[in-house]
Amino acid sequence: MIQNYIENANFEDTGFAYTLSLISGKHKMVILYCLMEFKTVRFNELKRYLKTISDKTLSSNLKELESDKLIIRTEYPQIPPKVEYCLSERGKSLMVVLDQLCVWGEENKLTD
């Protein structure tokens, strides 16, 4: 399988490149993990979990994840406005892959 990626002259057309494009960046995987762990989360809750992320960056990441159909944004018509985020079925299926990355990392951590 990996040889197909190496031999493929157009790396951008591979499934590997596509998957990386969905989760690239400093915060997207952490956002996905928060949604997996806490199921339904509001914007300010995510901001607290991520600690150092700006409103603009979080908002941008959430819009991209929603556009990629990995999360669902639910807006409630009330005052003050209430918006919640959760994983879509597509997002849940990606978590299987991300979990394996975590397992590999735990098993292969280099110690000093």
4 assigned to some structural domain: no
Q: How far apart are CA 46 and CA 107, in angstroms?
A: 28
11 assigned to some structural domain: no
86 assigned to some structural domain: yes
Measured at the CA of 26, the angle between CA 35 and CA 60, to 5 degrees, comes to 70
Q: Model pTM?
A: 0.81
Answer whether residue 20 shows pLDDT above 90.
no
pLDDT in tens, 68-112: 999 999 999 888 889 999 999 999 999 988 888 888 989 998 887
Q: How far from the centroid of its chain's Cα atoms is residue 106's Cα?
A: 19
Q: What is the mean pLDDT of residues 2-25?
A: 73
Prior bond of 77 cis (ω within 30°): no
What is the CATH classification number for the domain harbouring 33?
Answer: 1.10.10.10
1 assigned to some structural domain: no
Q: Total structural domains in the chain?
A: 1
9 assigned to some structural domain: no
59 assigned to some structural domain: yes
Helix axes 43-50 and 28-38, enclosed angle (nearest 10): 120
pLDDT grade, residue 9 (50/70/90)?
Answer: low
**Whole-number pLDDT of residue 12:** 74
Taking the CB of residue 48, how many other CB atoms lie within 10 A of it?
Answer: 12
| Segments forming the whole domain that contains residue 52 | 27-107
**Whole-number pLDDT of residue 1:** 57
21 assigned to some structural domain: no
Helix axes 55-67 and 28-38, enclosed angle (nearest 10): 80
3 assigned to some structural domain: no
